[in-house]
Amino acid sequence: MAATKRLMKEFKAIGAAMPKGVDSLKPDDSNVLLWAGTLQLPFEPYVGGTFKFKFEFPAEYPFKAPVFTFVTPIYHPNVDAKGAICMRELAPDTWKPATKVAQVLDALVKLLETPECSHPLRAELAEEYTTDKAKYMDNARKETAKAIA
């Protein structure tokens, strides 16, 4: 299976240099197409929180994009209440087979640091971020406090 071979190669490369903010990342012992990890972000309003996530890779990977989901809720305009994320790098119409997991994780951390409020999954948070950033940051810190390991 080509997906398995590629994923193991990528996992090895990531293990040598974990992307900024990624605390842990590991394939499932019984299924290499399922990965779990945690983020510990070094910027406000997420400092101190531990956010669990998962990747589900299709058997057609890298020709089809993986699905990324937050397991731990995160207060962010580009992440919905179920943990799905709106990210150009993972969108089926813009996914490129040359894209690596490490690149997705780097883009994810950048998106979390700088929300794309023009393409939100939660419009009310995008509105709050753009009109009252202090309130947004306070609310996000309160939610992050719930994610402290």
Burial of 134: CB neighbours in 10 Å, binned 0-12, 13-18, 19+: exposed
For residues 148 and 91, what is the distance between their CA atoms, to the nearest angstrom?
30
For residue 37, the SS3 value is strand
Secondary structure letter of residue 111 according to DSSP: H
Tell me how many degrees the CA angle 102-100-109 measures, rounded to the nearest 5.
Answer: 35
Give 16-41 pLDDT, tens digit per residue.
788 899 999 999 999 999 999 999 99
Measured in whole angstroms, the distance separating CA 120 from the mean position of its chain's CA atoms is 15
Burial of 124: CB neighbours in 10 Å, binned 0-12, 13-18, 19+: exposed
Which H or E run includes 132? none
Which whole number is the average pLDDT over 48-68?
A: 96
Question: Which CATH number goes with the domain that contains 56?
Answer: 3.10.110.10
Active site residue 117: no
Residue 26: domain span: 2-145
Give 71-126 pLDDT, tens digit per residue.
999 999 999 999 999 999 999 999 999 999 999 999 999 999 999 999 999 999 99
Catalytic site residue from 34, 84, 86, 107: 86
> Number of structural domains, the chain?
1
Contact 101, 89 (CB under 8 A): no
